[in-house]
Amino acid sequence: MPRPLPQPHLDPPSGERLGGFLALRNGETLAGTPEVSPHQPSIAIPAWPEELQRLLGASTGENGHLTAHVRRLEAELRRSSAELAKLRAKLRGAVHDALTDPITGLANRRSFDLELAAVAACDGRSSPAHLVMADIDHFKRLNDGQGHGIGDEVLRVVGEVLLANVRRDSLVARVGGDEFGVLLPRASPHYTAAIATRLCELLASRPLVVRGCPQVVEQITLSIGVAGWHAGESSAEWYARADAALYEAKRRGRNRVSIARMLELEL
């Protein structure tokens, strides 16, 4: 009986078996396989189904780990953004509190001084700027007689009257116990004098009824001093001249407007 012929080796001379894969070199072919172009890279073909399954499982696990890591980073970013927003809100609140009068809600003395200095340094040099100082007449008597709650309400009402009767570019502030400042950055002398007179007349024309306490009726009047910014003077000097004009109005009998001498020359 003739001996069977030896079987040929399954791997061609040009191929190598590496870890369950059959690697084909560029430009060589095997029986039953398509020809590979010399310009294409080597192609690794999985030789065993279980090897392919293992590789796919490993890839899926790595992708899952990466996705979980990205989600953790996104969560940390959201927490950091929320904390930053809270810090910004707290900072805005702190700045607001530092520059606002708690009783009237108007600007306080610190805020007023900052704006006054800015106007004196810039706007006042190129356009008219005027300062109005107003003080509630006999406020201490009202505060002591009616109580601080009533006194605070009177301060709020007077602040609202001042704010409602000046232009939007003006700054109204409570600068002392019963003293208010009104900064008019671009206002002529005649406009300023007219506004100051109107504020006096508005409060003196009718008794003030305290909100929440209709039985409390008070006659409220203002003494007002006005000063225009003069070239070369500081904001402190400007403030002092307006304040001196205010006390001149009180000395002359209250419920009136007194204009600083430099502004009188302009009128």
Q: What is the pLDDT of residues 73-94, one digit of tens each?
A: 888 888 888 888 887 887 777 7
**So what's the pLDDT on residue 102?**
94
Cβ proximity of 242 and 260 under 8 Å: yes
Q: Is the pTM of this model over 0.75?
A: no
H/E element, 131: strand 130-136
Whether the predicted pLDDT of 18 surpasses 50: no
Q: Of 80-94, 161-175, 191-205, where does mean pLDDT reach its minimum?
A: 80-94
- Average the pLDDT over 172-189 and give the result: 95
Quote the DSSP letter at residue 107: B
Q: In this structure, what token pair is assigned to residue 60?
A: 């899926």
Digit-coded pLDDT (tens) for 100-136: 999 999 999 999 999 999 988 875 456 789 999 999 9
- Other C-beta atoms within 10 Å of 12: how many? 16
**So what's the pLDDT on residue 30?**
45
Q: In this structure, what token pair is assigned to residue 264?
A: 């009188």
Burial label, 133 (beta-carbon count in 10 A; 0-12, 13-18, 19+): buried
Q: In what order do the strands lie in the sheet with 171-174?
A: 171-174, 179-184, 130-136, 222-228, 257-259
**So what's the pLDDT on residue 19?**
45
Confidence of residue 211 (pLDDT cuts 50, 70, 90): confident
Q: How many residues does the chain have?
A: 267
100: left (phi over 0), alpha (psi -120 to 50) or beta: beta
**So what's the pLDDT on residue 116?**
94
Digit-coded pLDDT (tens) for 21-74: 444 444 444 444 455 455 555 555 555 566 656 665 666 666 667 788 778 888
Cβ proximity of 151 and 158 under 8 Å: no
Phi, psi for 35 (deg, rounded to 5): -75, 140
Amino acid letter, residue 189: P
